[in-house]
Amino acid sequence: MLLLDLTHTSHTPARTGIQRVARALHQNFGDNALAVTRDPFLGGWRALEAWELADLARSQGGLKRKATWPASAKWRGRFRRAFGRAPQHLLRGEFDALIVPELFSVQVARDLPKLFAHVRGPRVALFHDPIPLRFPELTPPGTVARLPMYLQDLLQFDGIAAISEESRASLLAYWKWLGVTSTPTVAAIPLGVDPPRTAGAEAAAARESASPVVLCVGTLEGRKNHGVLLDACEALWARDVRFELRLIGHVNAETGGPALARVRALQAAGRPVRFDGPATDEAIAAAYAEAAFTVYPSIAEGFGLPVIESLARGKPCICSAKGALGEISQHGGCVALATLTAESIAGAIADLLARPDELARLSAVARGRRFKSWADYARDLESWIQTVRRR
């Protein structure tokens, strides 16, 4: 049996990229993996309890990204610890392998050796991206401060599963720059997507929309570049180009404020922009169904889940041609931009709105692409883990 560390994901209402990956692994590993958490109130590692498993199963995203613990769980852990009842609740036994899919905290890193002691096979972590080091001005300061030590903490694992070739190369380059000579095995294992079950219904929903809907799914934060997207849309609306922009996603409290303020200003001016905030999985699926196409203006990504989710639904996506997004877009169905300026994004949106034949062609290409499912991803990851040797 595998161990799956879900310390953060099991205690946050957020449903952003890392949490979606972690939840997908939990769902698809099923009984083959034991989900665990570092319980700071108990003082050790333990299996997830019923209330934590219930939180994992919820489809509704929340407004906050930080981990939260109910008072009852805090007091329960403290009681067990204070009155000598902690050992019976702490993790026991040996496991075949460990998977850590999250960007873990300093406190979790400090207690990883205790978790490693329960694993007879390889200890593996997922690596998402080094973006806080590349774009510190667009990233929350706490994440920027944590990342250098986190990248060194990864050296204690036996294997690292990067989510794209871009992320793999970036991690190895950073370690080389540090002068590290002995590193874990690092492989690029692209993520999966669960395609919709009713593609025909989605196409019908898009045709019935009163006005073309351009959809953008993703957290409002600095590097996602929503400000430039909004400038592009405002330029088109000023030229009487008819469409609605719909935004879905969490707002990053530290870097998303300017984009949210811009949204509110456009709404006050009567522009057709809709902001839903975090949404359920079902609401997001319905939004994809209604959209004519999507835009993902992010400057940098470790992978780019919203792009493949759009393509898997036969919806073309306007996105960057560089980095991890370039790895996805080069195979078709996208309008891949060399630069992400208001002018280039506005031009791409206007072109797709004015050329239904090109939109139909890109949609056909997108529908013709084949993406691995989350179940495929879990199998690929597990198969690769079996090849990783203990260091």
pLDDT digits (tens, 9 = 90+) for 241-280: 999 999 999 898 889 999 999 999 999 999 999 999 988 8
Residue extents of the structural domains in the chain: 2-192+374-385, 199-368
Mean residue pLDDT across the chain: 92
Can you say whether the dihedral through the CA atoms of 345, 162, 20, 330 is positive or negative? positive
Report the b/e string of 178-196 with b at 16+ CB within 10 A: eeeeebbbbbbbbbbbbbb
What is the spatial distance between Cα 166 and Cα 155, in angstroms, rounded to a whole number? 19
> Mind listing the pLDDT tens digit for each residue in 309-356?
999 999 999 999 999 999 999 999 999 999 999 999 999 999 999 999
pLDDT tops 50 at residue 379: yes
Q: Which two tokens stand for residue 293?
A: 């196409």
Q: What architecture is domain 2-192+374-385? A: 3-Layer(aba) Sandwich (3.40)
* pLDDT bracket for residue 57 (50, 70, 90): confident
Of 341 and 67, the one with more pLDDT:
341
* pLDDT bracket for residue 200 (50, 70, 90): very low
Q: Are 2-192+374-385 and 199-368 the same fold in CATH?
A: yes
pLDDT tops 90 at residue 60: no
Q: Which residues pair with 293 in a beta bridge?
A: 214
| Single-letter residue type at 332 | G
Q: Quick one: fold of 199-368?
A: Rossmann fold (3.40.50)
Place of tokens 């996602």: 224
Global pTM value:
0.91
Q: What is the pLDDT of residue 93?
A: 85
Strand pairing category for 293-296 and 244-248:
unpaired
pLDDT tops 60 at residue 122: yes
What is the spatial distance between Cα 239 and Cα 272, in angstroms, rounded to a whole number? 14
Q: What is the pLDDT of residue 199?
A: 45
* pLDDT bracket for residue 13 (50, 70, 90): confident
* pLDDT bracket for residue 65 (50, 70, 90): low
Q: Which two tokens stand for residue 245?
A: 């922009």
